[in-house]
Structure 1
């Protein structure tokens, strides 16, 4: 077992919950806090140590709660502050810790702070957000202050007619960016968004867009990388700015008073030295970060939907895993292991196979072994444990609610004049990569509406067509189900934390580029993982290539295990004790 001074979160499995889609307790078609409370015993049965709840704060829901109108109140369809207090108490009574989403790069345009900020140019809170005058060309035409593109497409600036200036929004126009240069703004953020909940017993935060608070001085134009649009990718100018580490150290001082842990979402940060600057323990900024190399495999570069489904190789996955695992190899930093979250499509549809029941189950089990064997803290997204998959290809684009999906499809429609081939390609990419897939209602049983809500109730997003085949109830009492497999693999990981969570990663190169093989080593054990990411059988040389003479099979997804072949989506974990003793 790890030394007693290892923090709880280093050996933890954390379960992410998307409130709107988890469980509806009152029959309005929207998930809620009481619905989560009603499933705490189920969550506990998974063997996880904590939950992370996506934003439940009061919000107009232009970006599913990531546009916060009031940090200290709850979106009414989700419940009340008293409900959230009951959730914290219910988790703690079961030995579960609780993390909330911390969304502090921006607020909703309906937040009181922004209403005051835009009230006049002389408002005391004018400088709480980022305002700039317009630029005018020789013809007198008004233009935004720079050419930055919003993460959701179009200009990152919105004109305010009443005060005759633009405000910055890196996401929706309804999500104005806060001005972190203002110390009064930062103090208000810490009190309202953080301490209000920490005083109620919260255990930590997942911090949204944790490296965007400090922008490049002067807000210069971004380099021209896409000649088809006036709006350019400016991530190098609004991520990892000059005061980011100063702000996080200041924030950490607040968090440390409550013993709260943090996991930061760290986009657009690829260099290992830059990543470590956020999570090195001696700097006391973040406990761990989400690095997106693995989940970004197969995505387009700019934008991410400019991609062909399943356009990746096992070599791409191997390279991504190496980059992520390097964060913890021989450093004092910490990272995470995950394949799904609220911003991704379903892993089985992307990296496994959802075409047949057999391949669906085998690939789901293989992916469970894969992500659980990686070093760092394990995160499991709701529905991942039962193998939920992407929405059917037959669903029309109107079923997609996410602002990012809709904006991309509309952009392609506008730029191509509605070209059918271009729209078909865009739809295929969204069906493969869209954020909506992870937001479909949780499938609890085989009754209409999948037990997410009452029969006959209109759900906020459509329930997947396959709910009768893929649901919690169907898998709970089946010892060979994917759900049972997930519970087992979480238990195995906890039993061997030194080699799973803390082990030193190294790839095991072989001749077969369809097989991913690597080892994890601790002072006491050696773990070897092998995975076939294809529908075809692949040759396997355990002795010569992998150095396995008398291995103990720790986990597998087929009943038997021939020594010279891996069947479609087969995975195995081998363990050897006293490897270095």
Structure 2
């Protein structure tokens, strides 16, 4: 990876870097005495000031994090072996994508048993050991809770489809055909479409009815209008809370309910990547009943100590609708994932500026939850550098987005590998695609394999991820130079940039808990002020979203500041280190400046 000069904040030292480089060579090899890890976010974990307001959350895609048994697939023991790395990075909680028994049609999001561990990932004893080791390091564990649908191999669904009179028939959504074609083929009850292409209805010849699936055919939707389903799914929450987990990321929560009258969805002009008509999911998404269920889920987790958290995946159409996920009395989820901000797939300072203002003024006054990468999105490195060819500029852009994530007011979610600058590695041939979304939509939709490639630990075979001859997805070609071992001793690496930002976020009072005011010193620069407590400095953040130098002019007096910028806390623009802070600052293309202001 090309490196760009940046300013040291005095946090890392050569001894630490050498220890981390050695530790990254083998799972679990980090020396506990090498450094003092950043202080935990929950030193004052109270109901009024819970840990999740200050913590950094790190998503692990278990298939791709660390393989310990040589089968080419990551496992729970692999996660345990890397907890020291996670701790040294400064992470407070790990969100782990599904590890439940599954046919793996959707790589774990098609669950066959909600209260067990898939043998390919390990055993329940492995899971319990991992949670215990995480707790010992003050790292919380957040499970992926998938309430909308099960696998068609679930015992529940097998019973449901066995006959129309089975007690679990109404656990899923079954409907008669709307009619029949001239040659006698049944037609779906309405025009609802699957998120992954084509009709959302699948005909079952045995019982001569269709079942509904918002996602893949193998993922039938549960019927959340059935009280027995509600009880069973609340018991799932209790099962894992009793195992010691600290909360849940709730998958596809806005799709829990559908219109019982089966109204057709509105049709829009054109077709999508799957060749289907464009529709508005009016009758299958974001129905009011969703909020009733979120309140019930919240009641369950609130019965447990330690301020457990609920995080919702709900790509709401605007900040106002997203705000409803908090609940009228903040009695639903604490952290709705903000796709409005995450889905700005371009470097547009005006767009980010307006969205950040909206989030700051959300009607529920809820805690923001930001992320720029996960298992369903292209990597940060690629999404925000479209059209940029210079590797050094790409690196600056990736650092800039890391800064936005970790210095804005909100709970940040990282995605494994972003901290070392992993890139999207999309298959180039349809025969190499593993993700069913890519298989169905190729070539317009190439799937999500590119952001799910194995973690790059070192420059050994398979990047230190696995000893297998073949891994479930191939390791990215750049693993020899982009990996933890190479970057740990390099003070100018992406990894150490992330570490410094996380420590700065944790130790600077203004970044830890200060309010946020979005500024506009220059149309091409995204900038904001984090207000320090009385008697303490504030922090000014400036991000040049353009490929040209931009001059920054702040009216410090109007911001209630008497001295202006008094120190540079972090930057990757070497000129700023030598420029007098009393004069207007010119920020280099795609550069970042974090300053102490008084």
CA shift, 1:357, in A, is 4.3
Q: Secondary structure at the match of 1:74?
A: coil
Structure 1 partner of 2:155: 112
Tell me: CA distance 1:129–1:530, structure 2 relative to 1, closer, same or farther (3 Å).
Answer: same
Structure 2 partner of 1:305: none
CA shift, 1:381, in A, is 0.8
1:519 to 525, 529, 532: 529
Q: Secondary structure at the match of 2:282?
A: helix
Contact 1:278–1:285 at 8 Å: present in 2 too?
A: yes
Structure 1 partner of 2:298: 252
CA distance in 2, matches of 1:375, 1:80: 38
CA distance in 2, matches of 1:117, 1:53: 29
CA distance in 2, matches of 1:219, 1:552: 61
1:51 to 94, 118, 122: 94
CA shift, 1:575, in A, is 2.8
Structure 2 partner of 1:174: 218
CA distance in 2, matches of 1:473, 1:504: 37
CA shift, 1:280, in A, is 4.2
Structure 2 partner of 1:288: 335
CA distance in 1, matches of 2:324, 2:316: 14
Tell me: CA distance 1:231–1:81, structure 2 relative to 1, closer, same or farther (3 Å).
Answer: farther
Structure 1 partner of 2:113: 70
Structure 2 partner of 1:450: 463
Q: Secondary structure at the match of 2:480?
A: coil
String of CA shifts for 1:199-225, please: whole Å, max 9, x gaps.
Answer: 111111111112221222312100111
2:519 to 497, 508, 516: 508
CA distance in 1, matches of 2:400, 2:324: 33
TM-score in terms of structure 1 length: 0.86
1:541 to 529, 535, 553: 553
- Larger relative contact order, structure 1 or 2 (CA cutoff 8 Å, min sep 6): 2
Contact 1:556–1:573 at 8 Å: present in 2 too?
A: yes
CA shift, 1:98, in A, is 0.8
Q: Secondary structure at the match of 1:344?
A: coil
CA shift, 1:518, in A, is 2.6
- Quote the RMSD (CA, aligned, Å): 2.5
Tell me: CA distance 1:336–1:555, structure 2 relative to 1, closer, same or farther (3 Å).
Answer: same
Structure 1 partner of 2:282: 236
Residue 322 (1) aligns with residue 369 (2): no
CA distance in 1, matches of 2:464, 2:265: 48
Contact 1:297–1:320 at 8 Å: present in 2 too?
A: no
- More moved, 106-115 vs 284-293: 284-293
CA distance in 2, matches of 1:533, 1:97: 34
String of CA shifts for 1:115-146, please: whole Å, max 9, x gaps.
Answer: 00000011100000011111116846531111
Residue 467 (1) aligns with residue 479 (2): yes
Tell me: CA distance 1:113–1:96, structure 2 relative to 1, closer, same or farther (3 Å).
Answer: same
Tell me: CA distance 1:217–1:93, structure 2 relative to 1, closer, same or farther (3 Å).
Answer: same
CA shift, 1:469, in A, is 1.0
CA shift, 1:544, in A, is 8.4
CA shift, 1:321, in A, is 3.2
Structure 2 partner of 1:302: none
CA distance in 1, matches of 2:526, 2:365: 27
**Where do 1:68-107 residues align within 5 Å?**
68-107=111-150
CA distance in 2, matches of 1:283, 1:371: 24
Structure 2 partner of 1:412: none
Tell me: CA distance 1:281–1:34, structure 2 relative to 1, closer, same or farther (3 Å).
Answer: farther
CA distance in 1, matches of 2:332, 2:45: 23
Tell me: CA distance 1:243–1:515, structure 2 relative to 1, closer, same or farther (3 Å).
Answer: same
CA distance in 1, matches of 2:66, 2:334: 30
CA distance in 2, matches of 1:447, 1:545: 55
Tell me: CA distance 1:384–1:74, structure 2 relative to 1, closer, same or farther (3 Å).
Answer: same
CA distance in 2, matches of 1:357, 1:38: 32
- More moved, 67-76 vs 34-43: 67-76
**Where do 1:144-159 residues align within 5 Å?**
144-159=188-203
**Where do 1:353-368 residues align within 5 Å?**
355-368=389-402
Tell me: CA distance 1:451–1:372, structure 2 relative to 1, closer, same or farther (3 Å).
Answer: same
- Show structure 2 runs of 5+ residues with no match: 1-42
String of CA shifts for 1:364-398, please: whole Å, max 9, x gaps.
Answer: 22221111122221111100111111216x84344
- Show structure 1 runs of 5+ residues with no match: 299-309, 410-422
CA shift, 1:283, in A, is 4.2
Q: Secondary structure at the match of 1:518?
A: strand
Give the number of equivalent residue pairs: 537
Q: Secondary structure at the match of 1:238?
A: coil
CA shift, 1:103, in A, is 0.5
String of CA shifts for 1:98-123, please: whole Å, max 9, x gaps.
Answer: 10100110000000000000000111
String of CA shifts for 1:301-321, please: whole Å, max 9, x gaps.
Answer: xxxxxxxxx6x6333333333
2:593 to 569, 572, 578: 572
**Where do 1:413-432 residues align within 5 Å?**
423=443, 426=444, 430=446
Contact 2:330–2:364 at 8 Å: present in 1 too?
A: no
